[in-house]
Amino acid sequence: MGLTVFAVVLVTFGLTKVAYQNPGRMLAPENASEETVDAITRSLHLDEPWYIQLWHYVVSGPAIKGTPTGLLNWPPSLGYSYREQRPVTGLILEKLPATVSLAVGALVAWILLSVLFGVYAARKPGGWFDTVTSGISYLFLSIPTFVTGVILLFVLYYQLSLAGVKFFPSGGYVALTESPTEWARHLLLPWLTLVIAQVGLFQRVVRASVLEVAGKDYIRTARAKGVGPNGVYFDHALSAALNPILTLGAIEFATILGGAIITEQIFGLDGVGRLAVSAANNGDAPVVIGCTLLGAVIFVVATSVVDIITYARSGK
């Protein structure tokens, strides 16, 4: 895990060096003199070799902070924003609640719907319910997220507002601590956008996983003992088919926590994804690296936890 995260830092740092050839000029005022640009470049160690710049970032950034006790500091530093003149950690922590709210709510909704639809489709493969849900799954998988978000905004916000129904907001984020009702209302359309994007894939995975174990001996034994269809499929078959569902769920959840860039942009959610896009456009390399590092850590931790759970469930 540590090697993976370090590799992400190294690659991202290298890409920022390629993308931003003269960060000093990008950060200087529009009519700044060459002396001003050179002074900014020197103050940020941007005139030194890349490996020296990387050392300065690591020493003052992800963990060490230049002191032996830096590893004990929490939250760890992720460098200093060029544009905002603030620690990157503080910027990310400000944006994280919106992204976490978006990811957790969408994950719960699409997992519940996927399990329900997938199990019922597996009970009668080839039946009308299986056929309908399969068609809907393929349709949802074929529609890009940005198209879904725009359509939802047009229909459920714009058209309903013209008709006098102003329930769905156009965008923005309200903190859960400020108003739970407004928090949920502002996230309904973003949640629905992500659910539509993910439920088709997860429904197919659940269906395939349940069908794979439906013919096993213990399933036939459960039926012979008089266990009803719901008990057979939801208690026995689904439990045995959880491993691929958990693995895929962890990957998708970690990806969204790293920043649901398109969804956040469409609905004006001031989250980590929007912060990363803004930093990339402004040449704020420490923020870009910090957001990427956050996504990498979440991804590595989530997949590792699922690996541990899957190993424990195997009984080895």
pLDDT in tens, 241-287: 777 888 888 888 887 776 578 888 888 888 888 888 888 888 888 88
pLDDT at 62: 44
Q: How far apart are CA 146 and CA 49, in angstroms?
A: 40
Q: How many helices (H) and strands (E) does the chain have?
A: 16, 0
CB 202 within 8 A of CB 110: yes
68 has pLDDT over 70:
no
- pTM for this predicted structure: 0.79
> 80: helix, coil or strand?
strand
CB 252 within 8 A of CB 198: yes
pLDDT at 183: 92
CB 306 within 8 A of CB 246: yes
pLDDT at 64: 37
pLDDT at 191: 92
Question: Distance of CA 204 to CAs 111, 124, 251, 255, Å?
Answer: 12, 14, 16, 20
Q: What is the dihedral of CA 78, 79, 84, 86, to 10 degrees?
A: 80
pLDDT in tens, 8-48: 888 888 888 787 767 667 677 777 777 787 787 777 777 77
pLDDT in tens, 69-80: 333 444 556 777
Q: How far apart are CA 194 and CA 263, in angstroms?
A: 8
Burial class (CB in 10 A: 0-12, 13-18, 19+), 15: middle
Query: pLDDT above 70 covers what percent of the chain?
Result: 88
pLDDT at 47: 74
> 217: helix, coil or strand?
helix
pLDDT in tens, 82-135: 778 788 888 898 998 998 899 889 989 988 898 889 888 888 888 899 899 989
pLDDT in tens, 147-167: 988 999 898 888 888 888 888
pLDDT at 253: 82
| pLDDT-derived band at 189, boundaries 50, 70, 90 | very high
pLDDT at 217: 76
- Sequence-separated contacts (24+) of 129-137 with Cβ below 8 Å: 130/207, 133/203, 133/207, 134/204, 136/200, 137/199, 137/200, 137/201, 137/203, 137/204
Q: Tell me the pLDDT of the chain averaged across its residues.
A: 81
Buried b vs exposed e over 128-150: b needs ≥16 C-beta within 10 Å? eebeebbeebeebeeeebeebbe
Backbone angles phi, psi at 196, to 5 degrees: -60, -35
Average pLDDT over residues 291-300: 86
In order of their start, the domains of the chain are 1-77 (no CATH), 90-315 (1.10.3720.10)
Average pLDDT over residues 185-205: 90
